[in-house]
Homo-oligomer: A and B are copies of this chain.
Amino acid sequence: MDCIAGYTTYIDLIQDLVAGKKIISTGMMKEVDRVEMAIQEALSGRSCALISGGDPGIYAMAGLVFEICKKKNIPVFRPGLPHQGGGSEKTSSGLNLEIVPGIPALAAGAALAGAPLTHDFAAISLSDLLTKWETIEKRLTCAAMADFVMVIYNPKSRKRTWQLERAQELILAHRNRATPVAVVTGAMRTNQQIVFTRLDQLHLADIGMQTILFVGSSASVRYMDFFFTPRGYTDKYGGDHRPSEPRMDKQNQEA
């Protein structure tokens, strides 16, 4: 890779991997500049990795690459795959784009909290910088009504302080006050912190820019220092069900 583009904080996390490469590093709120520069690099014939924390496709930069390419009429190709409905030939003026999936914060956070996401869930960002607050309210209400587990991204920032309490109020209209909530900050980083609370206490939690929240469904339960959402296996198959004979289909694979 000739060039690495990313939010300054993420570039700092991988310093030892990027020595000697051209770096395009910009701060928060400079996403459009950063992605435009990365696209420009790639169009100039140099390879460029645009990095995100977690997974690049979940509340992250992959979408913005497409937004910008579409706006500027830059053709985008999937390397190594023939296009649908066309041949495998491609024009020389276009962007070869590969999206490399990662472990999203919702999966890393869930693993730390227990297993909140083993059943249907909704991911909702409380940031109303790019989304109308009324849309966010509707999503919170509908997700609460339909008993989805919820993963809440961007619950609070220095400037966005009232949204979380409003979200709590909307969810409480449809969900038990004692619903388990996990507050996960800095998942899998050195500042990692996991705190459990309940829905009616959520406004008291310590929440920062790297926090995501897991709000249980009506089925979710706390157990020991964890919180999980049963899928219903033990109800269906019987909790005391044991195989009459432990079946080890394959033991000791050594040849």
> What residues of chain A have their CB less than 8 Å away from a CB belonging to chain B?
8, 11, 15, 18-26, 31-33, 36-37, 40, 55-60, 62-72, 75-78, 81, 83-84, 99-104, 107-108, 110-112, 114-125, 129-131, 135-136, 138-139, 141-143, 145-148, 188, 194-196, 221, 223-226, 228-237, 239-243, 246-255
Contact = CB atoms under 8 A, between A and B. Distances in A.
B99 A114 contact: yes
Given A15-B253, A23-B250, A78-B225, A118 B64 contact: yes
Given A107-B102, A195-B84, A66 B32 contact: no
Contacts of A63: 115, 118-119, 228-231
Contacts of A123: 117, 120-122
Nearest to A241: B32
Given A33-B243, A225-B83, A130 B251 contact: no
A104 B121 CA distance: 14
A37 B246 CA distance: 7
A118 B100 CA distance: 14
Given A66-B115, A246-B37, A110 B146 contact: no
Given A25-B250, A78-B226, 13 more contacts: A8-B249, A18-B253, A37-B246, A40-B246, A64-B230, A64-B233, A66-B226, A68-B234, A71-B239, A75-B224, A83-B225, A102-B103, A120-B131
Number of this chain's copies in the assembly equals 2
A20 B36 CA distance: 51
A68 B247 CA distance: 18
Given A231-B64, A241-B32, A248 B23 contact: yes
A202 to B, nearest CB: 16
A163 to B, nearest CB: 14
Contacts of A225: 76-78, 81, 83-84
